[in-house]
Amino acid sequence: MYQKVVVVGNVGKDAEMRYTPSGVPVTSFGIAVNRRWTSANGEQQKKTTWFRVTCWRKLAETAAQWVKKGKLLLVEGEVEAQAYIDREGTARGTLELTATTFKFLGGRGDTGEGTGASGAGDEFPVHEDEIPF
């Protein structure tokens, strides 16, 4: 079986990198995917879906350096839904996206931050042997 998901959205906060006990870099960040439409009665509707993105090895190092809050990103990878119970005892869920590549969209100054090697169109792929599963 094969699964590939592509999402385009804005990064919720700067990427955070850590290391597994064996020293493998892993970076996480959230991405918000917004959908807007007009309902049958003419009202504007908006829905935001959040994905928790995880990057491994070289892709993790790149994400930690360049993925910043507000950036518009295209992320490809595999998604898995996770259910959990929050502190108040309410059932909740999250979408976990293990990235195989990501690409910056928009202009170099799209969030008002400095420019650099992370300009529009920069793509950061990962090789299959770098995916942890």
pLDDT tens column, 32-89: 999 999 999 999 999 999 999 999 999 999 999 999 999 999 999 999 999 989 999 9
95 with 118: CB under 8 angstroms?
no
Total structural domains within the chain? 1
Please give the full DSSP string across 66-85, using - where no structure is assigned.
H--TT-EEEEEEEEEEEEEE
Residue pLDDT, tens place only, 103-122:
999 765 554 343 334 444 55
DSSP 129: G
Q: Domain span at residue 110?
A: 5-36+44-130
Q: Tell me which residue of 4, 9, 7 sits closest to 77, measured CA to CA.
A: 4
For 85-97, what is each residue's pLDDT tens digit?
999 999 989 999 9
DSSP class of residue 71 equals -
Q: At 121, which CATH number? A: 2.40.50.140
Angle value at C-alpha 50, between 40 and 88, nearest 5 degrees: 100
